Amino acid sequence: MTRAALVALGAFIVLGVLGVATARFFGKSGGRLAVQVSVAAHWLGAYVLWSFAAGLATKYRLIGEYEAWWFVPFALVAGWWHYRTRVHATAERALIVFVGAQLLWLGVILVGAGVLAP
């Protein structure tokens, strides 16, 4: 599942870059495609960093286990929200959505590991 998610996101980024390059070649700005590539790059980077951090936390027994594939549906929903915010608002508001989603995911991990259990 992890490999398939990475391949899908990588293909999305490559197709987005090709779309932006083609649009610019023909004199168009490619605004929405550029935003799609940017959002996909944000979430792919977040996936890699969360997997790395969770792997370290698991190795040093800070958390029990980490199922990386749960991040994929979360990233798709939050990425859609990130994209919609970026298109209809400013880049700063879209980054607030991105950072807020990362903090929410941190909370999910900590609750799942029992760190924030009452």
- pLDDT, tens digit, 9 for 90 and up, residues 42-97: 998 999 899 899 889 889 988 888 888 888 899 999 999 999 999 998 889 999 99
Query: Over the stretch 23-46, which tens digit does the pLDDT of each residue have?
Result: 777 766 657 777 888 898 899 899
Q: Which domain holds residue 83?
A: 2-113
109 part of a folded domain: yes
* pLDDT (average), residues 10-17: 77
38 part of a folded domain: yes
For the chain, how many structural domains are there in total? 1
118 part of a folded domain: no
What angle do helix axes 71-88 and 31-59 make, rounded to 10 degrees?
Answer: 150
35 part of a folded domain: yes
46 part of a folded domain: yes
- The helix, strand and coil proportions of the chain, stated in percent and rounded to the nearest 5, come to 80, 0, 20
62 part of a folded domain: yes
